[in-house]
Chains A and B, each alone.
Chain A
Amino acid sequence: MSARAALAEARAGAAVGEVGSGSAWTTVRRGLALSPQIRAGLGVTLVLALVATAGRVIVPVAVQQTIDRGFGAADDAGVDVGFVATMVAVALGVVLLTAGCAFAMNARLFRASEAGLAALRVTAFRHVHDLSVQTQSTERRGSLVSRVTSDVDALSLFLQWAGVFLVVAVAQVVLASMVMLVYSWQLTLVVWVTFAPLVLALRVLQRRLAAAYLAVRERVGAMLGAVSEAVVGAQVVRAYGIEARTGDRIDAAIDAHRHAAVRAQSFAVGAFSTGELVAGLATAAVVVVGVLLGLAGEITAGRLVAFLFLVTLFVQPVQLGTEMLNEMQNAIASWRRVLGVVDTPADVADPGAGGGGAVLPHGPVEVEFDQVGYAYPGGPPVLHDVSVVVPAGQRVAVVGETGSGKSTFVKLLSRLMDPTQGTVRLDGVDLREVRFDSLRARVVLVPQEGFLFDDTLAANLRYGRPEADEAEIVAALADLGLDDWARSLPRGLATRVGQRGESLSVGERQLVALARARLADPDLLVLDEATSAVDPATEVRLARALRRLSTGRTSVTIAHRLSTAQAADRVLVFDAGRLVQDGPPATLREAGVYARLHAAWTRGGRRDRPQP
């Protein structure tokens, strides 16, 4: 039953969002909403872009002027070098001006986009931590990391590279159109009509492209997930000699990504090469219609030739599009994945998010479970009708066999989950109404596997209370009887503990976790006792530290050691999701589940001593 429930646990809660649904435009809008820095000052940037693009328009205009006025084609007055010289000087000024505007535009665009993306990265990162533990575990570590790294990087590279060009390209199309209109509205119409089908076709192809690129980003996540697993599990990989098999799995992920990327690109290329074809059509149409118009006296030769130049200007963004829309779909897919994280709801929400929520008072906490039940979504209940009051300052041990519901009890107590029935109250306040910053300051959970950061011992301890100074750290260690152990380390408090604390033994990591909790000085200590055994001497040390740690505050400990249970004021015994025994350890020893457990413990521990 426990395993079945555990499976349901894996499905419970919202999974990390895969995709923001909707069109590219929806994604862009949502993305801009989360990164307002991108939009800030965009107006000025676009104006600069327009001005910068004007520098390109200057060429066709200059050519037109040269042909019509300079060469005297228009009024047969002979060649006017002086006019051309003046025109060139003016054009030169325009070119320099537009170059300056281009620089300013680039600088602004980069600053805005990088600021926006950094903000997005941090938002997504923070949101991952806000997600419930169950939701976090629905995705592989490497894949989660990819959402705040490679996915945002793809966006960043796109905005750096193609984003500028896209802005300029749009500006160029607009400007070219404007000038084209001035020269000949009829020919402009011809050009637009020729390009219209292309635009329509693109909209249809959008969805396909979007799906294809999303698949690419997902495969990147999967690939990084596979690599991450191989690295974190490096010991097992080597110990069992499965380098080849692991390598094959990673290769498969790499190839899957490659295929998805090629596929997505084939779509993009096929779609946008037709832009070139349409460009040819447009040029041909302009020539034919232009000549006919010219014969009818509606346009000069110079203007027609200039118009041909303008068509180039109009068409170049399409050529660029071949390179960039590729990247844009990639970027949109990346944006979708990052937004997907941010939009995943946090099952266990902070009531203090909007400034509301209750605050727990200082001092040992009283805990009340009021007919509490819990069932994983779609699964059977793992906790039935649990009602218990733990008075402030009491030392409680929770015991039970695997799957008895004790872990669920403890998770509900520290609000890693919310009960599906009943209410959990701390100091009379419904847990769901307590602000997280107050909750986490008053209630500290020490999980089974104490995670340590790749930093010094002192830094890891300070994690319990960041503002603690060295004196307080030493005091906390001394209080738990651990100061001599800390001094015995090669560099004392400044000893680095390695990635995931690997330089310390498992037992030592437990000691650090307890000291960290001591520094946090909670009013309610919830401890899922680490089960990796240590030598009896260290176990004694741990037990002593734990006893001292649970003094002066309410403590609830899932006990795996006999000594822990025996040292408690009160033992709660769980069996099959119900609270079956409740009382001081001495009285419980006689019968029931606790007696059974007690016997097993003592038999295990006292094999070599004669039974009294």
Chain B
Amino acid sequence: MTERPVTLGEGARVLARGIRAEPGVFTLSVLGAVLFGLATVASARAVGWVTDTLIAPAFRTGTVEAGALARAAGVLVGLGLLRAAAIVLRRLFAGVMQYRLQARDRRAVTRQYLRLPLSWHHRHPTGELLSNAGSDVDATWAPIAPLPMALGVVVTLVLAAAAMVLADPLLGAVGLLVFPLVLVVNVAYQRRMAPLAAQAQALRAEVATIAHESFDAALVVKSLGREAEETARFAAAASRLQAVNTRAGRLRGTFDPMIEALPTLGVLAVLLLGTWQVATVGLDPGTVVEIAYLLTIVAFPVRAIGWLLGEMPRSVVGARRVDRVRGASGAMPAGADDLPGTGPLAARTDALRFGYEPDVPVLSDLDLDVAPGRVLAVVGATGAGKSTLVGLLVRLVDPDRGQVSVDGADVRTLAPGVLPRVGAVVLQEAFLFDDSVRGNVTLGDPFGDGQVWQALELAQVDDVVRALPAGLDTRIGERGTSLSGGQRQRVALARALVRRPRLLVLDDATSAVDPEVEHRILDALRAAAAGTTVVVVAHRPATIALADEVAFLDGGRLADHGTHAALLARNAAYRDLVTAYEQEAAEVLP
């Protein structure tokens, strides 16, 4: 995607947004900057004043009185004190403003991550999202740091300009030429810098994406010995980023010296012209010195404004990237209905159709009907769409056509939070948070420890948790105790069970456990599931036997429906699928 050119206007609008959001600290910071500016100009005038009233007479007359010295010293030190106080005011509040704006943007962006549907997440690698929340937000508000100072020095500039013109109109005007020239140089810079800044931010995201994926894959990388290839892949992206950064640096290196040289050229012009004026019209030499000194003082503010303007392209690019996330739509629509009651729910799908890609449906025309309190086993070959069905039942995704309804209500009409409250799902791959066992089971909901232990017992993982050093408080997840695959799955099962869901959807949630344990879980589940409707994706005959009825999926369609025994009898494909394991075992055993 080609970037629109960055204009000063857009950069200013980004900053204006920030100012509107934090007017208080901004005002304080600018106050400090203005104070600093005033003090700086006053210092310049003081030098001029000291030159005229102290130094020149002293050298001329050969004497000086102590009081005059003390007065001069006092003024200069006092102004230094004032400047110090002003800096504290300016810098501190500029920082507070910058960090508050960053935090604000980050909250907004991460809220979007939580809000947007999984389909959006499929299109955006995790690393890129980290980059949006991190680097892009940083870039957006980077100019805030020099902003108050830049605004403050505008005051300095105005006062200095006024002082210059007042001291001598002609010389002052010559000195003033510096300012518009700086602006012209900067506009040229903006135009060239913007595309580079955009590329740099995009490449930062790419580097983050590769790093995140690669570290996720660390075990596979190690076990296949692909460290060198991964590093080469990363290095390629890093070197592309390096190239763009270097080019941006060269550009900066071209324009910064230009901006810096302008005030100096101004001083030289003033000196030349001023000397000529002293010679021809008898201008006071002190005036020339004062104007020259003012221009010297002005050099720093000009550079400060240069910095601010120099940061703008990156800021605008960052803001655009952040706004893209903030403006992303596609959150799944929700209604306001509730599901009152406590009994098991009825679940139903009508003409369900879903595909991850437009022309490749994973489920077609699926009609399912589960009466409350029944246990339905969903059986099908790999890729038949079972996990997809699970996702649709708990509304992780919305179907392309057809509807999913619970107790007669289309799930899309339910208020947010209703379905997660009454339903629970255990996905095929158990995801544990970087949290305690308790935290992973309760997910912050107010379940008592007793209930947690009950759920853990049901899931046949209580003995494991009891053996942990801190019991329920033991940290599991990314940085914590590593549990085996089966243990993780059972904790995820406990997470679902503790809620006493009215609709329980299991995507083969007992696969990673030893057969003995699975047997016990299934028994416990059958006992506990009395008040729950259960939809379970099943592979093992033991699991299927748990069900009251079976839905047989083939190629995304409902191929057959009935009891396990009935399907075994009448459906050859079903029979082949379910008993393949046993046939295989029969072949191997003597």
Contact = CB atoms under 8 A, between A and B. Distances in A.
Given A3-B468, A520-B224, A531-B512, A239 B275 contact: no
Size bracket of the A interface = 35 or more
Contacts of B43: 280, 283
B382 A52 contact: no
A73 interface: yes
B324 interface: no
B577 A232 contact: no
A183 interface: no
A322 interface: yes
A448 B293 CA distance: 74
A515 B126 CA distance: 27
A381 interface: no
B242 A118 contact: yes
B245 A531 contact: no
A536 B250 CA distance: 63
Interface stretch (B166-174, B180-188, B256-264, B528-536): B256-264
Contact of B242 (A79, A84, A117, A141): A117
B443 interface: yes
Contacts of A449: 429, 485
Interface stretch (A301-309, A390-398, A424-432, A571-579): A301-309
Contacts of B239: 118
Contacts of B383: 488, 504-505, 507-508
A537 B265 CA distance: 83
Given A63-B289, A233-B431, A533-B540, A129 B231 contact: yes
Interface stretch (A17-25, A120-128, A184-192, A549-557): A120-128
A281 B118 contact: no
B315 to A, nearest CB: 12
Contacts of A516: 224
B484 A407 contact: yes
Interface string B140-159: 00100110010000000000
Contacts of A500: 216
B554 to A, nearest CB: 11
B163 interface: no
A605 B542 contact: yes
Contacts of A288: 69, 72-73
A611 interface: no
Interface in B273-288: 274-276, 278-279, 285, 288
A239 B542 contact: no
A79 B265 contact: no
B257 A402 contact: no
Contact of A262 (B99, B145, B276, B379): B99
Interface stretch (A5-13, A26-34, A174-182, A470-478): A5-13
B79 interface: yes
A609 interface: yes
B234 A125 contact: yes
A278 B55 CA distance: 22
Given A254-B103, A440-B224, A603-B519, A280 B81 contact: yes
Contacts of A98: 257, 261
A220 B103 CA distance: 11
A106 B479 contact: no
A447 interface: yes
A563 B584 contact: yes
A77 to B, nearest CB: 12
B80 A276 contact: yes
25 contacts: A3-B467, A3-B481, A79-B275, A84-B272, A106-B253, A125-B235, A137-B478, A141-B215, A220-B134, A223-B133, A238-B420, A247-B111, A247-B114, A251-B110, A280-B81, A285-B73, A287-B54, A290-B55, A402-B484, A402-B487, A535-B539, A538-B382, A597-B514, A604-B519, A605-B585
Of all A-B residue pairs in the complex, the 7 with the closest CB atoms, nearest first, are A280-B80, A440-B225, A106-B253, A110-B249, A241-B420, A533-B511, A445-B223
Given A141-B478, A247-B114, 15 more contacts: A10-B481, A78-B279, A110-B253, A129-B218, A223-B133, A233-B433, A287-B54, A294-B59, A300-B59, A323-B149, A440-B224, A445-B223, A507-B383, A533-B539, A562-B585
